Amino acid sequence: MNLRELLKMALINIKGSKMRSLLTTLGIMIGIAAVIAVVAIGEGGRSALNTEVEKFGTNIFVIYVREELRPGDFQMIDVEVIKSAVPQVKYLAPQNNLSVKVRGPRKEINLGLTGTTSELADIRNIEMKSGRFINEDDQVNSRNVIVLEEDAARELFGTADPLGQQVSIEGDGALVVGVVRKVESKLDEGGSKTAYVPLSFTSHMRGIEMIYYLYGSATDKTAVDEAMNSSVKVLERRHQNPKHYSCESMQGNLRQINQILDIIGLIISSIAGISLLVGGIGVMNIMLVSVSDRTREIGIRMALGARRRDILIQFLVEAIVLCLIGGLLGTIIGYSGAFAVAKIADWPPLVSWKTIGLAFGFSTAVGLIFGVYPANRAARLDPIEALRRD
């Protein structure tokens, strides 16, 4: 009997007991569906996260003080010293963050005010909608200029062009020199509106020269760890204060998130594996029942010349086909679930052919492993005794 005939016979036998076959493959379906869904959702979420991070820059790192920040912990000269001493640092910008009220022609709004220098635009991939970003002359000459984010400019000026107009920042006037195009990002949903001013402006507003952070960008992704660790060592030597500074990077945060996703995926896959095991036991039980129900059929086939190997292969193929059907249904259910979740979360469901092939490979293996015992039992039946049974 060739493979085509074996498959045809297996499908006829499975079709003859539809409900029993469906219940038998339930564990297989759940296990495969869980594996497909977890992989698709995990990979889709990972891809979406990487895309969002790339909008802000993947080589970014930030240096901050471990304990309470004091004046002098960061100095403007630190920026130049680090850039000259650490070749892996491409851009470095000091930054202050203040929450202020800004008044424009239309109304007064709350803004997150970032005091910084020109290199922050390169570090954060800031794109200008109109005008320019802060430049070195603004910082050196302590100019009262401001660069508004797109949403903030719209609230302060409406449809009017804000360039060249004045706003009031807690009593200090500032000239609008640029408007930043807003980056649509899931990582920044619901965030406060932002504006940028020279670092000297924020120091003048607070009456004290304070730098809260140093934002940097490495020459490439592989140099991020070396860039930020070497920068911290430079600061510790300059200020003679070991273990006072710390650092984080986008790459490091991504690694931690990916590790969490891997752990979650492993846990759910382990649960899915248990479901596959239970499904395999169900397949073995139903195949044993099938052998018992078809004892006379087996005896007739043996009497007509079928060898033990033929009987063994027949029942093995039937078990494998049963599991493959479960795997196919599980793949459809898993992908549908992943697609629904991805639609809600607005990221792509990524199911590779490798994952689908792996799922069918598991299904085949389960059918093979758990079909061996029933198939072997069928093949070992004595044809005479089999023919005597009703």
DSSP assignment of 261-303 equals HHHHHHHHHHHHHHHHHHHHHHHHHHHHHHHHHTHHHHHHHHH
Classify residue 202: in a domain, yes or no: yes
Higher pLDDT pick, 365 / 298: 365
What pLDDT score does 390 carry?
Answer: 52
Tell me, yes or no, whether 353 and 319 share the same domain: yes
Tell me, yes or no, whether 104 and 27 share the same domain: no
Tell me, yes or no, whether 233 and 323 share the same domain: no
Residue 186: pLDDT band (50, 70, 90) is: low
What pLDDT score does 221 carry?
Answer: 83
Question: Coil, strand or helix: which one is 342?
Answer: helix
Q: Residue 80: count other Cβ atoms within 10 Å of its Cβ.
A: 11
> Structural domain tally of the chain?
2
State pTM to two decimals: 0.64
Tell me, yes or no, whether 111 and 179 share the same domain: yes
Classify residue 248: in a domain, yes or no: no
In this model, does residue 273 exceed pLDDT 90?
Answer: no
**118: Cα separation from own chain's centroid:** 32
Q: For the chain, give the longest Cα–Cα distance.
A: 107
The whole-number average pLDDT for the span 299-325 is: 77
Sort residue 15 into left (φ over 0), alpha (ψ -120 to 50) or beta: alpha
Tell me, yes or no, whether 227 and 303 share the same domain: no
In this model, does residue 386 exceed pLDDT 70?
Answer: no
Tell me, yes or no, whether 275 and 361 share the same domain: yes
Rounded to whole angstroms, the Cα distance separating 312 from 291 reads: 11
What pLDDT score does 348 carry?
Answer: 66
Residue 156: pLDDT band (50, 70, 90) is: very high
**Structural domain that includes position 363:** 3-53+255-388
> 160, 144, 153, 162: which is closest to 193 by C-alpha?
153
Higher pLDDT pick, 201 / 288: 201
Classify residue 59: in a domain, yes or no: no
What pLDDT score does 22 carry?
Answer: 73
Tell me, yes or no, whether 230 and 81 share the same domain: yes
The whole-number average pLDDT for the span 218-237 is: 90
Q: Residue holding tokens 């869980």?
A: 34
Mean pLDDT across the chain: 81
What stretches of 25-144 adopt beta strand conformation (E)? 60-65, 89-103, 108-116, 128-131
Tell me, yes or no, whether 278 and 334 share the same domain: yes
Classify residue 349: in a domain, yes or no: yes
Last residue of a domain, one of 223, 243, 263: 243
What pLDDT score does 262 carry?
Answer: 77
At 36-48, the pLDDT tens digits run 777 777 777 777 7
Last residue of a domain, one of 186, 208, 243: 243
In this model, does residue 152 exceed pLDDT 80?
Answer: yes
Q: What are phi and psi of 171, to 5 degrees?
A: 95, -15
Tell me, yes or no, whether 381 and 301 share the same domain: yes
What pLDDT score does 53 carry?
Answer: 66
Tell me, yes or no, whether 187 and 272 share the same domain: no
Rounded to whole angstroms, the Cα distance separating 193 from 182 reads: 10
Classify residue 261: in a domain, yes or no: yes
Rounded to whole angstroms, the Cα distance separating 236 from 309 reads: 76
Residue 187: pLDDT band (50, 70, 90) is: low
Residue 389: pLDDT band (50, 70, 90) is: low
Higher pLDDT pick, 237 / 256: 237
Calculate ∠ Cα 73-171-158, nearest 5°: 110
What pLDDT score does 338 carry?
Answer: 79
Cα dist. 101→21, 367, 383 in Å? Answer: 69, 68, 93
Last residue of a domain, one of 243, 264, 283: 243
Residue 383: pLDDT band (50, 70, 90) is: low
Query: Is residue 206 classed exposed, middle or buried when 0-12, 13-18 and 19+ CB atoms within 10 A define those classes?
Result: exposed
Residue 353: pLDDT band (50, 70, 90) is: confident
Question: Coil, strand or helix: which one is 64?
Answer: strand
Classify residue 259: in a domain, yes or no: yes
Tell me, yes or no, whether 152 and 269 share the same domain: no
Q: What are phi and psi of 353, to 5 degrees?
A: -65, -30
Tell me, yes or no, whether 81 and 200 share the same domain: yes
Would strands 145-149 and 172-180 be described as parallel, antiparallel, or unpaired? parallel
Classify residue 342: in a domain, yes or no: yes
Residue 78: pLDDT band (50, 70, 90) is: very high
Higher pLDDT pick, 367 / 184: 367
Cα dist. 328→39, 80, 322, 323 in Å? Answer: 16, 61, 10, 9
Q: DSSP assignment, residue 220?
A: S
Classify residue 359: in a domain, yes or no: yes
In this model, does residue 198 exceed pLDDT 70?
Answer: yes
- Residue 259 identity: Q
Calculate ∠ Cα 173-174-180, nearest 5°: 150
